A and B are shown apart, each in its own frame.
Chain A
Amino acid sequence: MPDTSSTTLTATEETAAAPADVVKTEQRKPRSLWGDAWFELRHRPMFWVSAILLVILLLIAAFPGLFTSADPTKGDLTNHFLSKPELTHFFQPDWFGYDGQGRSIYARVIHGTRNSILVGVGVTAAVTFLGGLLGMLAGYFGGLIDSVISRLTDIFFGIPFLLGTMVVLNAFTDRKVYVVVLALTFLGWTSIARVTRSSVITAKQADYVTAARALGASTTRMLFRHVMPNALAPTIVVATIALGGYISAEATLSYLGLGLSEPAISWGIDISEASKAIRDNPHALMFPAGMLTLTVFAFIMLGDAVRDALDPKLR
């Protein structure tokens, strides 16, 4: 990996040493952490692969009608009971074949995207907000507030994530997207809180924070203008990496019959139904499973790239 700071340095030295009539090299402003991270990201093929995948997935989630005109809930048992896929019929309803209810698997795969991505993004946002806030309070104020929040984090962390979420979800009969989001957030905020707490503790000891305090800045100003922006990077890294995991968790819970409830379309529910007839009809399982894997893969790859870009220690 090229050491960016040293290339910048040599470039400026060259400019200084070069005669004035040589074409002026492009203006090099000092880069912030974020500018640096963006510079790193742009030079990674992995980032671009995941970005292109994600743009397509977001398009599918936002406008499923653009990709298929078939109705994902319309079953035709007489003509299409578990029909095999027609792999050459691109974008047609029978492209991926039909499921045990005679519904187009392609249409269901396309229409299931929105729920998966909504849950993934929703949980990540909620967890970052809740965990970030608690972690920031604990790290910044310390003392009793820190002890209470840290012990709470330990306790919520102590219950195995998937098991606890299953217990919460079992209490609800009509599980819409927001119910699943809240249930996953209930136990999911702990790692973000821990990471944010420790980075806030590091950030608040910086000289500029002491300077701001000496100048009489208010607590909220110090928190949100000085400490938060400088403690944000590790939180963002953990949140991005976790996003793919939440999508996978939603599918797992739906597969167990404890995630989204029908008529919501979820890849997990479809995989669970297809698993009963897997020996003769593997296609009904492979396509939703493949799409799920591809989505999780895209998000995890993005998280990986963001971590490499934001973590200066890895350079």
Chain B
Amino acid sequence: MGRYAARRLLQMIPIFVGTTLLIFLMVHILPGDPIRAMWGDKAADPAQVAALRHEFGLDQPVWKQYIDYMLNLFQGDFGKTFGGRQVIDVMTEAFPVTLRLTLLAITIEIIVGIGLGAWAGLKAGKAADSGVLIFTLLVISIPVFVLGYLARFVLADELGWLPPNVQDSTNLAELFLPAFVLAMLSMAYVARLTRTTFAENLRADYMRTALAKGLPRRRIVGVHLLRNSLIPVITFIGTDVGGFIGGAVITEGIFNVQGIGNLLFRAIQTSEGSTIVGVVTVLVLVILVINLVIDLLYAVLDPRIRYA
């Protein structure tokens, strides 16, 4: 287990370096001059532009910028925003907000998604199954931003059940609506995946054995079936973290949540390289670690899997 984890950690290094290099190149090589753009349509003073470009290191060749950036990164220095604030400060303000939003969304996704999927899987071929299938198809077809406005319009503006904007991100009641919208798409996928594995595993030998032993149905479904069906579902949730962050850009915009999605969107619009690269770097790290943890979880869920 320890050796496996160490090997996986080593394998993460080239991917981490490659991904940060890729996003760095995307930000710095693609056309567009963020410094000149600060003046908009007005005439810019070349001396001021040059001074700013020097201040942010943009006058250096790209490879040197990348090496400088990485060296600073290992000392905890993410650079500064065009506004002059440290990127790390901006991120420490925004990350906890998105973390709460995402955790709440994943909780909703797991409870509703696995619940719906298990229900459909146990009733495979019956009306409940087709109902869940069509419902999930519909949810997958509605783009997140449409769903967001719909939910806000109906549940907040018209019915007034939930607040339309998030003012205090530590208040779970306020956070519920954006988290629900964020969770819907993945929830539909989780439901379909759970349904398939449930329907498949229902025919497995160990199910017949458990039934023959005279175990109560609750235990057969809740322990034998559920535990064996969870591996593909958990794998999906792990690979979906990146999708959650993309969805957060939309949901945070609609519900006015001051999290990482909003921060990134503003940074992308102003081509603020330091913030984009900083946030993506942290995200990539988070995603890599989550996937490692999930791989290690396999052994917990399925005792046949052993890591030497």
Interfacial residues, chain A to chain B (CB-CB below 8 A): 151-152, 154-156, 158-164, 166-168, 170-172, 244, 248, 251-252, 255-258, 271, 275, 278-279, 282, 285, 289, 292-294, 296-297, 300-301, 304
Contacts and interface: CB of A to CB of B under 8 A. Distances in A.
22 contacts: A158-B15, A158-B19, A158-B284, A158-B288, A159-B280, A159-B284, A160-B246, A161-B243, A163-B249, A167-B23, A170-B30, A171-B30, A252-B144, A252-B250, A255-B145, A256-B265, A271-B146, A271-B149, A275-B149, A278-B153, A278-B157, A289-B143
Nearest to A249: B143
A152 B17 CA distance: 12
A167 B242 contact: no
Contact of B153 (A151, A257, A279): A279
Interface string B74-85: 000000000000
Contact of B157 (A158, A168, A279): A279
A232 B221 CA distance: 37
B146 A293 contact: yes
Nearest to A248: B143
Given A155-B19, A296-B141, A304-B137, A166 B146 contact: no
B278 to A, nearest CB: 13
B246 A168 contact: no
Given A172-B31, A248-B143, 5 more contacts: A161-B243, A166-B249, A257-B269, A278-B153, A289-B146
B140 interface: yes
B166 to A, nearest CB: 17
User: B interface, how many residues as a size bin?
Assistant: 35 or more
A293 B245 contact: no
Given A158-B19, A159-B22, A167-B23, A251 B143 contact: yes
Interface of B: 14-15, 18-19, 22-23, 26-27, 30-32, 137-138, 140-146, 149-150, 153, 157, 242-243, 245-247, 249-250, 253-254, 264-265, 268-269, 271, 276, 280, 283-284, 287-288
Contacts of B26: 164, 167-168
B149 A278 contact: yes
B141 A300 contact: yes
A155 B22 contact: yes
Given A159-B284, A279-B153, A279-B157, A170 B268 contact: yes
Contacts of A152: 18
B141 A158 contact: no
Given A160-B246, A162-B246, A252-B144, A155 B137 contact: no
Nearest to B11: A154
Nearest to A169: B268
Given A167-B276, A170-B269, A171-B30, A162 B143 contact: no
**Chain B interface mostly:** helix
A124 B282 CA distance: 30
A292 B145 CA distance: 11
B145 A252 contact: yes
A293 B32 CA distance: 34
Contact of A155 (B15, B32, B145, B276): B15
Contacts of B284: 158-159
Contacts of A282: 153
A297 B138 contact: yes
Nearest to B284: A158
A163 B145 contact: no
10 residue pairs, one from A and one from B, having the closest CB atoms? A162-B246, A171-B30, A155-B18, A297-B141, A160-B242, A158-B19, A289-B146, A296-B141, A248-B143, A171-B32
A160 B14 CA distance: 17
Given A151-B14, A285-B149, A300 B143 contact: no
B259 to A, nearest CB: 14
A154 B268 contact: no
Nearest to A274: B149
Given A151-B14, A159-B22, A171 B31 contact: yes
Given A158-B18, A159-B19, A293-B143, A301 B137 contact: yes
A178 to B, nearest CB: 16
A166 B268 contact: yes
A292 B264 contact: no
B184 to A, nearest CB: 13
A167 B268 contact: yes
B141 A293 contact: yes
A282 B149 CA distance: 10
A166 B264 CA distance: 10
A289 B137 CA distance: 16
